[in-house]
Chains A and B, each alone.
Chain A
């Protein structure tokens, strides 16, 4: 018996584009996993990493076909098994943890019913044994109320808990191979670390082999033994984790590493202000959010912002950081006029702004522009770029068609895109190009202030890096003020001059970037900071003790 538990050789998968045509999406991928080891598949969207992990279970998504190669699992050739035989090893020998537990749990069944389903169906345990096993797994995974949490329905527990419950579901039969498909991507940073720790402990304690699929190199570094770097379905580099991180042999891997979401290590990397900080008292703030309280529902019933005050200065960036539910997006919406406020006011250049879009003057609307997170849904798919960029010109400046066309060409040049893109539709552009158009649309209005709502979050790391660079250049040239909203502290620290840390609708810490990032930190900031993975393999183990203290302090 070989110690290689899984061996994938020359795997090829193709997607059926039309009735007959097949387009390869995974090309000749080979790797192997020894018992108890973790291999990470890393790559950006479209790299084929999920497809490969599913093929290891002999499964191809609708529209995909496994066209060649071999997947040897222990002593079986998975790709030669029929449906019945594949069913036999799934859930028991190999199990799968999906990217979004919230979507993958069946809303109509209780959690334990789903967790214990496989051993019961395959008659591996009695109902009592399975239930006990489930509870002990819940306990190992640090889930609250392990005795009763399984009686709930999926919608009754939080996202982070659900992801761990899915791990329990995967581990119930003590599988020899665990496939984790971006299991922490949908989670907030502080939760991500907790789930990551739980997974790592589980894999180590049970001596399980695992495939860990992720786009995040720093996360992968914490759990993997080997890393396989993928791009467009092809293997770029394959080797032990230390070698990939410290001595990458390929340019693409180096690019990935330099763009990874890690905190800048040295202070010089942190944003140096474009205007001297000492002058701050002299310059009037461009935007003042003064003691704003706002919420959703009739009469602001559900408050999302409590007495929030911030300032933004021309040519400077204020970063708003927080996790989901912190109120950071609401703040952006209040500034832009998409939402009114219950108390307090927003002033632009000293003048109070009306609460809603309908009552703001066209010039006020023009001065504040909003850049959306997802460029692919923020651009009307039925409009050409020329119309997308031309409309604000006609709307705000009453430009003629000729003038607008000319200006559109200039704007495309500003965001480093060729003028020929004007006649394209958004779907004919890549994600990064679309985000540039999204920014260009905000620039057409020649705004004084731009609200950037998670504009890099949906982008692959390398593309995101380029967008941030562009933002900085634009600011230096046009002296625009940015309100940069993000959940990612490492991104914020690269762009912001001042940072406001938000939690539960309140600002918990507010100051210059250097102040915020230099110890001593506020408890919650400390928790956030310690949640950003570092690109070294021993970070997760070292951080545990430090975080426990930070978490209790932040909660208290």
Chain B
């Protein structure tokens, strides 16, 4: 559906007038990450799999002994690869996979959710019960089983996690649509003789768009956390690709170095990919939170 530009302009302007410094910084961070994802090969100083030194866990700023003249700005990983370069490529993989997952999950989940709410009756009952059953599977469990049996390719990963996520989106979309579907303007469209398609996409969707956008932000962060956790367990993105979760797993030994040499700089090698994840998810969540708060409730001051 195309929404006329002007339709969004005035509320958007209203929203922008309440922009806080924190949210502005978060938005900048996200833009930065988007640039990194798009221009990864230009930004990364070295190749994804390029081994710069023979030592495990080179410290920040040390020289790559295998490649004279190179510097490991953020240190080297267990194979002596440049952490900074791997972070850039890792972020690229993690973020684009998470984005693909969320988009797919929303396409599926909200379509079926709207459908269930609009059709009501038996169709809704059946769809809802199936989702109830599916949701009662711990998501990590489904991912484990499917990924192990079908192999951990990007396609399998994206489709599996998107399907799991779609059940959650279904619930949100259905709940939103349920509130909308009882409004008189839906009845007005029904009594006019409008079909299911018009009601779902022209009457319901525009009214659910705001909350759905917020939910998209939240689900996107979950997708990032989820595939990172899978990769951390060794079931997500497979080497030689780098992925932020996998990088944490690969370099977990750095913690032992930190303990042995009593030098926290080693710990940073392991923590930096996790911090990258956290920066993105915190930024997204802060923006969503701010967006939702612009319609917040307040209490009697005497309570």
Contacts and interface: CB of A to CB of B under 8 A. Distances in A.
B191 A365 contact: yes
Contact of A380 (B190, B207, B209, B301): B207
Interface residues of B, number: 25
B206 A357 contact: no
B42 interface: no
B211 to A, nearest CB: 13
B187 interface: yes
Interface in A437-459: 441, 445
Given A372-B187, A377-B183, A378-B188, A357 B207 contact: no
The secondary structure that dominates the A interface is loop
Contacts of A445: 192
Interface stretch (B64-72, B82-90, B292-300): B292-300
Contact of A62 (B183, B190, B299): B299
Nearest to B194: A395
Name the residue in B189, B191, B298 with the highest tally of chain A Cβ atoms < 10 Å from its Cβ. Answer: B191
Contacts of A362: 193
Interface in A247-299: none
Q: Considering residues A63, A382, A395, which has the most beta carbons from chain B within 10 angstroms of its beta carbon?
A: A382
A525 B104 CA distance: 61
A379 interface: yes
Contact of B192 (A18, A59, A377, A395): A395
A370 B188 contact: yes
A377 B184 CA distance: 6
Nearest to A392: B192
A317 B258 CA distance: 88
B187 A338 contact: yes
Interface string A363-391: 00100011011100111111110000001
A61 B191 contact: no
A360 interface: yes
Contacts of B191: 336-338, 357, 365, 369-370
Contacts of A63: 298
Secondary structure of the B contact surface, majority rule: helix
A62 B193 contact: no
A392 B202 CA distance: 13
B194 A377 contact: no
Contacts of B188: 370, 372, 378-379, 441
B185 interface: yes
B300 A365 contact: no
B207 A381 contact: yes
A302 interface: no
29 contacts: A18-B18, A19-B18, A59-B300, A62-B297, A62-B298, A62-B300, A62-B301, A83-B302, A86-B302, A336-B191, A338-B187, A360-B193, A365-B191, A365-B193, A369-B191, A370-B187, A370-B191, A372-B187, A377-B183, A380-B206, A380-B207, A381-B185, A382-B206, A382-B207, A382-B209, A383-B202, A383-B206, A384-B4, A395-B192
Contacts of B189: 380
Contacts of B302: 59, 83, 86
A373 B300 CA distance: 32
A374 B184 contact: yes
Contacts of A373: 184
Contacts of B183: 377
Contacts of B206: 380, 382-383
Nearest to B294: A18
Contacts of A391: 192
Given A59-B302, A62-B298, A370-B187, 10 more contacts: A19-B18, A61-B300, A62-B297, A83-B302, A357-B191, A369-B191, A372-B187, A378-B185, A384-B4, A445-B192
Nearest to B4: A384
Contacts of A380: 185, 189, 203, 206-207
A71 B299 CA distance: 23
Contacts of B207: 380-382
Contacts of B193: 357, 360, 362, 365, 395
A531 to B, nearest CB: 28
B5 interface: no
A13 B220 CA distance: 44
A291 to B, nearest CB: 23
Interface string A351-365: 000000100101001
A377 B297 contact: no
Contacts of A86: 302
A429 to B, nearest CB: 14
A94 B190 CA distance: 49
Contacts of B202: 383
